[in-house]
Structure 1
C-alpha cells in the first residue's frame, strides 16, 4: 500500500448510509488491495536503514535467544566467601605455585570486601535519603502525568472543535447539495426525454417522406400510362423511381 496522503471525500453527516450491496463491494475492494503482495523494493520516501552497531555481547545474547538457551543470570561466585588454599603442616609454602594461589585468593578477598563496603554504604545512603528521594521522584512523575493529561484534554477539545466545525459546514451546504443533485437528476431526465422526442420526430419525418415518395411514384405511373408506355416499362420505372425516392428520403433523414 503506498505511503501517500489519502484525502477522504465522504460527507458522513449528510451522505446517506451505504446499501448492503455497496458495502459488500467496498469490502471486496479493500480485501483485494490488502491481499496484494508487497513489492521487494522499499518506498522511495522511506529513509535508508541505519548501519548495525552490534557489540559482541549483543551478538552472543542474540545467539543465546536463537538457540533457546535459558538465561543464567548474574554470577555471584565473586561475592561468595573465599576459601583459603590448602595449608597443612607438611605443606611447603615457598614454591611459586603456592604463593600464586595465595595471591589470587587475597585479590578475590579484596574484591569482595570492596564490593561489600560499597553495598553497605549504598544501603546506608538509601536508608537515610531513599524515602525522600522516592517521594520526590513520585511527585515529579505526577507532575509529568498531570501535564500529559492537560495536553490530552486540550487535544481532545481541539478534535471536538474540528468535528463540530466539520458537521456545521456539511449541514450548512446540505440543502444546496441536495438542490444541485435534484437539479442534475431533472436535467438528465429532460435530456433523455428530449432524445426520445427527437427520435420520435425523426421517425415521423422519415415515414412522411416515404409516404410522399410513394405518392410521387403513383403519380409518375399515372402520367406514364397516359403517355402510352408499356406495362413492363412502367413497372421497371415505377420500382426504380420508388427506390430512388426512398433512398433520398433516408439520406435526408440521416442528414437532419
Structure 2
C-alpha cells in the first residue's frame, strides 16, 4: 500500500465478522502482516505519536515546577527549607544594639504569625465543616456530571459500533461469501464438464483418425484390384490366341 496515495488510512478490523482470527496461528500471521504494513507507513500518525519530540519543554508556565523538574533530571538533592527565620534565638553579639533590634523584630513577626494561625484555626473551626460539606457537594455534583457524560459517550460508542456494523454489512458479506462459494462450485462443475468434453473430443478425434486410416486402406485395396484387372484380361486373350 502506498502511504502517499492513502495518507489517512487507518487499519481496522471486524472482530464480529472476521472469526478466522481465532484460528490457530492466524493471529501471529495477522500481526506479522500488520507489522510489515506499518513499516511502509513511516509518516503515519501512529509513527508520529511514537516519535515523541526530544526537545519538549515541560512546565512552561510554572517556573517553580520547571526548576524542580530540572533539579530532578540532574539528580541533585532537594534543598531543605530554611527554618531559621522561625526560630527565636538571641544574637551572638549581645552588645550589638542592631542585632537585638533584628531579634525583637523577628519575635514580633513570630508573634503575629502565631496570632494569624490562631485566627485561621478559629475560622476553620467555625466555617470549615460547612465549607467542606459544600466542597464535597460540589465534587459529588461534578462526579455525577462526569458519570452522565461518560454514559453518554458509552452510548454514543455503542451506537457508532452498531452503525459501523450495519454499514460494514456483515450479513451482506456472509451472503456474498455464500454466493462466492456457490459460484466457485459451479465453476468447478463447468471445469469438470469441460475436461470430460475435452476427453470425449480427443477420443472422437482418435476414432476419426482410425476411420480415416481404415478408409484409406480400403481405397488402396480397391485401387490395387483395379490395376490388377487389365493384366488378367491380357493373359486371357493370350491364352485364346495360343
Taking structure 2 as the reference length, the TM-score comes to 0.61
| 1:191 Cα deviation from its structure 2 partner | 1.3
Aligned partner of 2:138 in structure 1 is 140
Separation in structure 2 between the aligned mates of residue 186 and residue 55 of structure 1, nearest angstrom: 72
Are the aligned partners of 1:82 and 1:105 in contact in 2 as well (CA < 8 Å)? Answer: yes
Is 2:77 aligned against 1:81?
Answer: no
Counterpart mapping for 1:27-46 below 5 A: 27-30=28-31, 33=34, 43=45
Aligned partner of 1:209 in structure 2 is 205
Deviations 1:170-219 (A, max 9, x none): 9x985x76655444322221211111111211221122112212332333
Aligned partner of 1:245 in structure 2 is none
Is 2:9 aligned against 1:8?
Answer: no
**Higher relative contact order at CA 8 Å, sep ≥6: structure 1 or structure 2?**
1
Q: CA RMSD in A?
A: 4.5
Q: Which stretch has the larger CA shift, 126-135 or 41-50? A: 41-50
Aligned partner of 1:191 in structure 2 is 187
Give the length in aligned residue pairs.
210
Counterpart mapping for 1:31-110 below 5 A: 33=34, 43=45, 51=57, 53=60, 55=63, 58-59=66-67, 61-64=69-72, 66-67=74-75, 69=77, 71=78, 73-87=80-94, 93=95, 98-110=96-108
Aligned partner of 1:128 in structure 2 is 126
Separation in structure 1 between the aligned mates of residue 34 and residue 186 of structure 2, nearest angstrom: 40
Q: Against the structure 1 CA distance between its residues 200 and 57, is the aligned structure 2 distance closer, same or farther, given a 3 Å change threshold? A: closer
Separation in structure 1 between the aligned mates of residue 83 and residue 92 of structure 2, nearest angstrom: 20
Is 2:113 aligned against 1:115?
Answer: yes
Are the aligned partners of 1:85 and 1:105 in contact in 2 as well (CA < 8 Å)? Answer: no
Gaps of 5+ in 1: 88-92, 229-256
Separation in structure 2 between the aligned mates of residue 133 and residue 226 of structure 1, nearest angstrom: 132
Aligned partner of 1:25 in structure 2 is 26
Aligned partner of 2:233 in structure 1 is none
Q: Which stretch has the larger CA shift, 26-35 or 138-147? A: 26-35
Separation in structure 1 between the aligned mates of residue 97 and residue 70 of structure 2, nearest angstrom: 41
Separation in structure 2 between the aligned mates of residue 41 and residue 165 of structure 1, nearest angstrom: 30
